[in-house]
Amino acid sequence: MDTAFNAPPNQLYECRDCPARCCRMPWAIRLGDDEAGRIGSNEWARSRMAEMGAELRRDRSGARVLPMIDRDRHLQCVFLDDDGLCGLHKRSGHAFIPAVCQAFPFEFIRDERGQVTPILSHLCPSIRDNYGKPIGDVLADKLAQSGGRAPEMAPALPLAGGPVISRSRIAAIARRWEERLSDGAPIPQILADLYDELDLLRAALAREGIARGPVGDDAFDRAWAAALESAKPEPLPKTDAAPPIANVLFALCLSLIAYPARVQMSHRVRRPGERAPSLLDTLSLKLRMVLGQGEADLLFIDRPFPLERVPRVARFLSTGAAATARSFLVRAIARRALFRGDADLQECLFTLGLGASLISRFARCRAASEGRASVDDRDVREGISAAELVLFTHARLLSGSALTRLILRGLAGNRLSYRNVLVAEA
């Protein structure tokens, strides 16, 4: 395949046929019509689904999805065998399973230069821990397995619902974000400064007479230069207690991967006589997480833990311990998946800031579950896994409803809300 790939340097990947985490996730594995027909007509697959009381269902988008069952307080694909390996794969081969399963942990997007950028999911242990062989050896095959799908980053995006910035100038903003996050200053302060630069850019464009609609490249360049020249960082305040809005957002995000909310998916198979967790159970979970009281059972953490322990774990985003999180945030910008066609530039930055704080909060939860007072690098890497699942790649669980998107877009336009999210883990 004659394709130019923009691959991250020094990234390794290897499939060891390990018991796959991807088959035990609170997400929907969507099928094309041909895939649904292939699986629905397979004798072994029909028998397995009948045994489980399952069928190929449709999700809210109308796409057929693989059914999942609740096992040990986790969802898992009905085709996953007891040894943790895919029954479809073992019996019918790699080419038989759905394209999204074949291509995992890779997605692809075309950047502003037309190069195909791989989006690598930390949900795969090989990507998370960076072992195996250089990914360049498998990119062409993985792109083919995904059906050749590599959507382009948005041709243009609005800024705060007003002026519309072209793709080439979105790339200029993205490079600025990458450079700032690479300079070693505290992550929360950098992200706060970047938000103010967007506000200054909007004001400079207004002075150019552009409050709405497309922004010409020359006008953007003048306004961007003026914004950067006038920028004056405002230090984030220090606080021992997280602002309430931050606790609400963390509860909203982390509840998606906590029991019981993580098993309350529309494609979950409910067996006869089984008591499924109720909406009240989920509301109780979210309230406990907002208040920081009671017990939580989070994906990627081995045991339930008391939430009261989390404040005893030191924050780290403004220290040298944040190096792994910093590298991930730079890569998240470089791969351009933030800049999808359904986003606003302020929303892109809000997602990045929320992701940074979510990585930190999850890492502290994981350390708290083991009674430690500080995080280690494994905590941070699993925090990245959690943030990816909720915000960045593949599932983007937090974007699952129009109401949630509306709330996030409203918060993204509020400077104080954004800074409070950053302050909570600074």
- Cα gap 125→121, rounded to integer Å: 9
The amino acid that residue 319 corresponds to is T
In 3D, which of 69, 58, 70, 71 has the Cα closest to residue 30?
A: 58
**How far are the Cα atoms of 115, 166, 320 from residue 11, in angstroms, in the given order?**
18, 30, 22
- Cα gap 287→11, rounded to integer Å: 40
Q: What is the pLDDT along the chain (426 residues), one digit of tens a residue?
A: 458 898 888 999 998 767 678 888 888 889 999 999 999 999 999 999 999 999 998 877 788 999 999 988 999 999 999 988 899 999 999 999 999 999 999 999 999 999 999 999 999 999 999 999 999 999 999 999 988 889 999 999 999 999 999 999 999 999 999 999 999 899 999 999 999 999 999 999 999 999 999 999 999 999 999 999 999 999 999 988 899 999 999 999 999 999 999 998 888 888 777 777 888 999 999 999 999 999 999 999 999 999 999 999 999 999 999 999 999 999 999 999 999 888 899 999 999 999 999 999 999 999 999 999 999 999 999 999 999 999 998 778 888 777 777 888 889 999 999 999 999 999
pLDDT score, position 273:
75
Q: Is the pTM of this model over 0.85?
A: yes
- Cα gap 56→68, rounded to integer Å: 10
Report whether 59 contacts 50 (CB < 8 A): no
Cβ count within 10 A of residue 167: 16
Cα torsion at 279, 281, 285, 291 (round to 10°)?
Answer: 100
Domain boundaries, the chain: 12-145, 154-426
For the stretch 193-250, pLDDT in tens is: 999 999 999 999 999 999 999 999 999 999 999 999 999 999 999 988 899 999 999 9
Report whether 86 contacts 29 (CB < 8 A): no
- Cα gap 351→253, rounded to integer Å: 12
pLDDT score, position 2:
58
The radius of gyration computed from the CA coordinates of the chain, to the nearest angstrom, equals: 22
Indicate the SS3 state at residue 342: coil
